[in-house]
Chain A
């Protein structure tokens, strides 16, 4: 029972490089989310999806793009990484609107 799986778990990038974080869930959830966690700021929503083929902006979307081509996968892309994007990224999914979120283990990204 995997739940929500994020890959990679750790990554170090140089400024300007691009990368994609993959989130996969096996619970058939409609809703998926990407958050970033920074010290003293809680979790902030980057982008989210309410179903396959849909995406929407969250609180801090600049510098990120997302895609939800398959219901079980939600990809977060950084086209040109910046040091300000150094953070821990969490993917989450939920079965229903305003429902309990199931989180992945997090992906620690460092941009030098």
Chain B
């Protein structure tokens, strides 16, 4: 079985603050993939990143960065210098061999950035 836990239900920050979203996953597999998706108020789901279990390098894309730590089964996401446009629901997701690579999503974290 696989499971994704996003313990933070809602986070509210003031513009320009940094915000970190936690994601903890469970899987028995050694081969798996982790994802983050963004769902802005308009409702569509936007892919942000895909990371495989053999690549523990952190990644930075503009104001977004991801910290993958297999030792703690975590794949956390940080938004630096947040902006109002970052307000959205963010989902962490896991795909693994044992689950036929079907994607399992966490419950999501709602981020509100206030001007």
Q: Which residues of A contact B (CB under 8 A)?
A: 33, 35, 40-45, 48, 56, 58-59, 88, 90, 92, 97-103, 105-106
Contact = CB atoms under 8 A, between A and B. Distances in A.
Contacts, number: 49
A44 B107 CA distance: 10
A33 B100 CA distance: 13
B36 to A, nearest CB: 11
B-side interface size class: 20 to 34
Contacts of A58: 102
Interface of B: 4, 6, 9, 33, 35, 37, 43-45, 47, 50, 91, 95, 100-108
Given A42-B107, A45-B103, 8 more contacts: A40-B9, A90-B45, A98-B95, A98-B101, A99-B50, A100-B47, A102-B47, A103-B44
Nearest to A45: B102
10 closest A-B pairs (Cβ-Cβ)? Answer: A42-B105, A103-B45, A98-B101, A98-B95, A43-B105, A42-B107, A98-B33, A97-B101, A100-B47, A42-B108
